Amino acid sequence: MAYFFEEPSRTFGEYLLVPGYSSSECIPSAVDLSTPLVRYRKGEEACPLTMKIPMVSAIMQSVSGEKLAIALAKEGGVSFIYGSQTIEDKAAMVRRVKAYKKGFVTSDSNLPPTATLKDVLALKVKTGHSTVAITEDGTAHGRLLGIVASRDYRLSRTSEDASVSTFMTPLDKLVTAPANTSLKECNDIIWDNKINSLPLVDDEGNLKYMVFRKDYDSHKEHRNELLDANKSYVVGAGINTRDYAQRVPALVEAGVDVLCIDSSEGFSQWQSDTLKWIRDRYGDSVKVGAGNIVDREGFLFLARAGADFVKIGIGGGSICITRETKGIGRGQATAVIEVAKARDEYFKETGVYIPICSDGGIVHDYHITQALAMGADFVMLGRYFARFDESPTSKTRIGGNIVKEYWGEGSNRARNWQRYDLGGAEKLSFEEGVDSYVPYAGPLAEGVNLTLYKVRSTMCNCGALSIEELQRKARLTVVSSTSIVEGGSHDVILKNGPVISQ
């Protein structure tokens, strides 16, 4: 007969952290949330890739595009750009993220001179950018003819049918710079001329890049931004176990900092084969995580196969129905606790520390703190990031509420069959994810900063000023169903209830 685990499979919602002694030094602003992302010899060397915050974004079409990758890197985390797209498109996304921090931005708002104000307004809604480059052919690298900014038109005075050539700032009135101008020189030109943007053009007059004043200001604002040695934003990317021989070289050439095998179940030969191929060709220079697993055996398998970090979680995501359709998985809290013990055993035996990532099961912000206390080095979030402006999906209104689209990689919409591949036909035989909406939550920076303030505050309640200290000091208790009810508001009439009219 089958093996039966003695302990029940538990979720984060079944635990509470018990407060510990907090000294006067335990204030949220003093908490350090830095955490290792990839394997290293703890105590002997520094981790080659350390995040400023313990958050990464899920490898999903509806979550991790280039805009979210940039926004999350600004806050100190890492985004893993989704894998279910062509190799060429994905490599191009990585390149754009790597180029962005350097200040040289490839314009994504471009129109030909035959366009109208109506086209400008539509493009502004699409991209969110008010500066539009007018090029001869309407492309990002066409011959520059002028610029349209918000100051160039008045909606109350300019007809929407007016040609952009009649109200744009023409090239002869623009301040421009040669394509090989350094970023420092560009910023000096911007400040000296009191302008908001600086087009860089080549010898033939073609637009190459744009440098914006707001990017300089952004650098000063985001003290936690995660940068590589060249001061470009750190970015990750998902890969699969089918076309890795073509996808990995393209992503490495594009400058990706870390890869992750995206799979619903990582305890497999396909993942070990993928890791071996990468190690044989790149050694340890290419960092790659693996998963997902939910127990000790799965972790040790991937650790010995060469994974730089290991992801934990099967069936716990908000849009995942793997447990419902296949009856396989494990409660996220139980999985994290067991894998963390295996991680510590492996470190004690080998001296190599392999970070673990809790992927799924995060419903409330405090679940992040619980996952860290239980041993996770960082968490991967999908629904959480899908709500923000920077995710790739569209906003819409349902019943008076603004929402954003959010769908699983195992849904018919995504059809990411590679993620669920078990060596069979190249198709998605049945769905393991749903198509849904999530409440719109505004800019990523505001949401992340609020969440992390809660995490820091809870850590202070536990007397911890770092994630490592939290894991040493944290005390957790299982709660009863009655205790869960007690933890929310009860036996009161809420003021924000329905209005009673007379």
Which residues have a catalytic role annotated?
Answer: 320, 419
CB 359 within 8 A of CB 419: no
Sheet of strand 401-407, all strands in order from the earlier edge strand to the far edge: 395-398, 401-407, 435-439
CB pairs under 8 A, 24+ apart, for 362-367?
362/12, 363/12, 363/13, 363/318, 364/13, 365/450, 365/451, 365/454, 365/455, 366/17, 366/454, 366/455, 366/458, 367/12, 367/13
Q: Report DSSP letters for 395-445, one per residue.
A: EEEETTEEEEEEE-TTSTTT--GGGG--SS-SS--S-SB-EEEEE----HH
Contacting residues for 497 by C-beta, under 8 A, at least 6 apart:
none
Strands 236-239 and 258-261: parallel
Cβ count within 10 A of residue 249 = 15
The pairing of strands 378-381 and 395-398 is unpaired
Is residue 396 a contact partner of residue 388, using CB atoms and an 8 Å limit? no
d(CA 188, CA 184): 6
Decide: 78 and 258 in contact? Cβ < 8 Å. Answer: yes
State the residue for tokens 């090239």.
171
Strand ranges of the sheet holding 144-148, from the earlier edge strand across to the other edge: 110-111, 132-135, 144-148, 169-170
- CA 262/CA 380 separation, integer angstroms: 12
CA–CA separation, 29 and 158 (whole Å): 49
Strands 15-18 and 132-135: unpaired
Token output for 72: 């999350």
CA distance 232 to 182: 15
- From the list 151, 114, 116, 113, the residue with the least C-alpha distance to 131 is 151
Question: Position of tokens 């440098």?
Answer: 211
Beta strands in 225-360 (DSSP E): 236-239, 258-261, 288-293, 310-312, 356-359
Single-letter amino acid code for the residue at 269: Q
Q: Which helix (H) or strand (E) holds 216?
A: helix 213-221
CB 288 within 8 A of CB 39: no
- Contact partners, residue 389, CB within 8 Å, separation at least 6: 128, 442, 443, 444
